[in-house]
Amino acid sequence: MQRRLQKAGIDLGSIRTQLFTAIVICVFAAFINYAGTLKDGFLLDDFLHLNYCARALAGDWQPFLMNFTGNWGGSDLMLSYRPVVSLSILFDYLLYRTNPWGYHFTNLVIFAACTALAASLSLVITQRLAPRLCGAAALFGGLLFAAYPLHAETVAWIIGRVDSLATLFYLASLLLFLRARTHGSKDFRRLSLLSFLLALTSKEIAVSLPFAVFIVTFILDLPQNKPLTAAKNAIKASLPYLGLLLAFALVRQLILGTTIGGYGRADIWQSLGNFLNRDSLIKIIVPVSEEYHYLSKAIKPAVLPVALITLLAVVRSLLHGAPGKLKILLSIPLLMVWCFVALLPAFQIWHIYPNLVGSRLFFLSSVPLCLVLTMKALPGHIAVDKKKMTIWLMSGCLALSSLYLIWCHLLQINLQAWHHASSRMEKFDEQITKLAMTNAKVALANLPQDYKGAGMIGRRLYLDILVSPPLKDRSLSERLLTAEKPGEYFDQKEWKEIVKELSKGAPLVYFDNNTENFYFYKAPLLSLQNWLKQRESKEESENKSENGYDCLKDVLQAQANTNEKDWMVVDKGATTLTKVVSPDGGESLEVAVAEKPYILTLDLPLPSLLDSPEIDLVLELKAQKDGKSITPQVVLIDEKGELAARLPQTNEVSLSAIKALAAPAMQKGRLGVYLEPGNTIIEKILLKRLINK
């Protein structure tokens, strides 16, 4: 009898097939979301790590090897031990040399791998607790992680991989542990411990893994065991990881001289209080950069899907809950505990700023967050008929899909800062190279710190790397003068050199992030020389040091006379100014702005400003919004009444800063104050030493 070969087919009901499909979709989504970062360049700390890799390949291995025997990157800002990250950068340098797209591609691959592991973890946990829909849980758990908007800083910034690489090994260790637990394999357990070690040597956030092992084991054991038994099993499972963690802490103590911490001294109670910071907690649920999107407009679309998911979970529990399912429902608060425990290693610096600086600290914690949202939305554990299950499933998938699409949109908004910072760095590099090539000496009035939260240069050390081999054919560092030398603070010799070269006609230039151009100052030499003498005597008497860049900024924004005079604000826009008199007799202007940003035009034309001496004007602004003090932004308006440039945001704007940005096309323009939507109260617009018109 002849046998017939059975036709090959795909079993869509297979857990493996569902997991494979979910991983493929999630990885594809990760690449699509971050494809734009492949065009970005090197930023901020990227230069430091690129430098020691380049030096290693040139024969000087000491700076690179110091990452294994000392503080990571030789940083003077923190104490950390992350040699695995340095190895990854060296690997990239071997492949891509100074081509930034390759480093960004590696970041994207690491992130896609994290996404695949997040999807796998979602399936493993829900397979035990809610097997009916574990495939859908894997899909949405991975998709939410791939689109979570707070990941922009980690993925778009090359050195942000410290968080994604640590998370990669962290999740791999956790999944290998679960695999070893299922199959009783010692090899998987050894691989899990090895992966934990790699996570620890990538970033300190991995220290929470023993707790994660405890939480996951407890959650998976709880449905079949009493709470006390499940807790004992979880403690036993986490002991090998605690042992490895203690051994690592000892090695770290020997190498760095510290077991915990690394960001300087901080008050523990004050730092732990940061976890209750309202603004940071809001950013977790409304993860949008306020530099690009108004928070008031983002709250509703970001919160509504989360509220709908929570409502679905509550209604299902009320309609179909049973005492036997309470142990399963307990898994959600336990996962949220893991979410916040994962933040504890960063307790000294934990904070998410309005421009999303610090959001990378939530990268690992976003894994349990996405898992919780997925488990709350999907009805995998309830016992209902097929029709009701379909209704609940469709409702949950609709809520999760809405959240995913909104997060994708917010993510693209957040990524703009990194794209724009890279664009400005390219312009800065191009123009500073040209200036250095055509001048014997160039004095820089500023080093661009960041653009809307995305770091740029920041330090003289990084500037030196930017203008030296291998990024340049030859070093131009000696031609550039700044008030901050590598690793130093206020330096008298550097200052004297700046004044000397300026007196010879060396250009004093300021790079404006908004226009992406350098502007030339007419150096106030007398002010610089007098100030330098004062600083020298002050240094001797007080024995204090000061950051050189800040010193130069103070000089260029010279002190005005004490003669102060209020001047009138003339409104030429389409809004209403209401005079407000406070109980103490003070007067202010309330600017009622509804939807769009508003520019309050000031009765001071640019030509009057541009013809005045450097020290004759300082514009002081004071305002509040929603009861909180804010820093209004002064803008330059061209002769057509359109916004031409924004000045650096500060409470006091000097004539020097205005001149630095005022282009010839704006000679007939005016000053203005830029206000965001919402009621703003202008408490003070003060012109120190009024100019005669």
pLDDT per residue over 473-492, tens digit each? 999 999 998 866 544 444 56
403 vs 539, residue with greater confidence: 403
Q: Band of the pLDDT at 525, cuts 50, 70, 90?
A: low
State the pLDDT at residue 238.
94
CB neighbour burial string for 211-224, b if at least 16 within 10 angstroms, e if fewer: bbbbbbbbbbbbbe
Find the helix packing angle between 366-377 and 331-341, rounded to 10°. Answer: 160
Give the model confidence (pLDDT) of 630-673 as tens digits: 888 888 877 777 777 777 677 777 766 676 666 555 566 777 88
Mean pLDDT of 139-160: 96
Mean pLDDT of 31-46: 96
| 8 Å CB contact between 674 and 599 | yes
In this structure, the answer to whether residues 538 and 571 fall within a common structural domain is no
State the pLDDT at residue 564.
28
Decide the pairing of beta strands 564-566 and 680-688: antiparallel
Q: Band of the pLDDT at 317, cuts 50, 70, 90?
A: confident
Domain residue limits at 627: 564-688
Out of 184-198, 256-270, 569-583, least confident range: 569-583
In this structure, the answer to whether residues 503 and 581 fall within a common structural domain is no
Give the model confidence (pLDDT) of 203-217 as tens digits: 989 999 999 999 999
238 vs 502, residue with greater confidence: 238
Please tell me what DSSP assigns to residue 186. Answer: H
The position carrying tokens 């405890």 is 214
State the pLDDT at residue 543.
45
In this structure, the answer to whether residues 85 and 170 fall within a common structural domain is yes
In this structure, the answer to whether residues 424 and 407 fall within a common structural domain is no
Report the percentage of the chain scoring pLDDT > 70.
75
| 8 Å CB contact between 121 and 141 | yes
| 8 Å CB contact between 660 and 510 | yes
Q: Is the pLDDT of residue 544 over 60?
A: no
Q: Is the pLDDT of residue 322 over 60?
A: no
In this structure, the answer to whether residues 203 and 221 fall within a common structural domain is yes
Dump the DSSP string for 17-72: HHHHHHHHHHHHHHHHHHGGGGG----TTHHHHHHHHHHHHTT--HHHHHHHHSSG
Give the model confidence (pLDDT) of 425-479 as tens digits: 999 999 999 999 999 999 887 788 888 899 999 888 999 999 999 999 999 999 9
Please tell me what DSSP assigns to residue 5. Answer: P
In this structure, the answer to whether residues 426 and 357 fall within a common structural domain is no
In this structure, the answer to whether residues 513 and 605 fall within a common structural domain is no
Is the residue at 4 inside a domain? no
Mean pLDDT of 109-129: 92
Is the residue at 2 inside a domain? no
Mean pLDDT of 85-102: 96
Give the domain-ending residue among 371, 402, 419.
419
Give the burial class of 13: count Cβ atoms within 10 A of its Cβ; 0-12 exposed, 13-18 middle, 19 or more buried.
Answer: exposed
Give the domain-ending residue among 534, 556, 578.
556
State the pLDDT at residue 387.
81
Say how many C-beta atoms besides its own lie within 10 A of residue 623's C-beta.
21
Phi, psi of 481 (to 5 degrees): -110, 130
Is the residue at 693 inside a domain? no
State the pLDDT at residue 690.
42
In this structure, the answer to whether residues 111 and 169 fall within a common structural domain is yes
Give the integer Cα–Cα distance in Å for 649 and 80. 33
Is the residue at 121 inside a domain? yes
Q: Is the pLDDT of residue 131 over 50?
A: yes
| 8 Å CB contact between 264 and 390 | no
Q: What's the pTM value of the predicted model, to 2 decimals?
A: 0.78
Structure tokens at 104: 């960004």
Is the residue at 1 inside a domain? no
In this structure, the answer to whether residues 496 and 600 fall within a common structural domain is no
| 8 Å CB contact between 570 and 661 | no
In this structure, the answer to whether residues 254 and 130 fall within a common structural domain is yes
Give the domain-ending residue among 404, 419, 434.
419
In this structure, the answer to whether residues 496 and 412 fall within a common structural domain is no
Q: Is the pLDDT of residue 330 over 60?
A: yes
Is the residue at 6 inside a domain? no
What is the number of structural domains in the chain?
3
Is the residue at 193 inside a domain? yes
Give the model confidence (pLDDT) of 412-431 as tens digits: 999 999 999 999 999 999 99
Q: Is the pLDDT of residue 179 over 80?
A: yes
In this structure, the answer to whether residues 512 and 612 fall within a common structural domain is no
| Residue 648: CATH number of its domain | 2.60.120
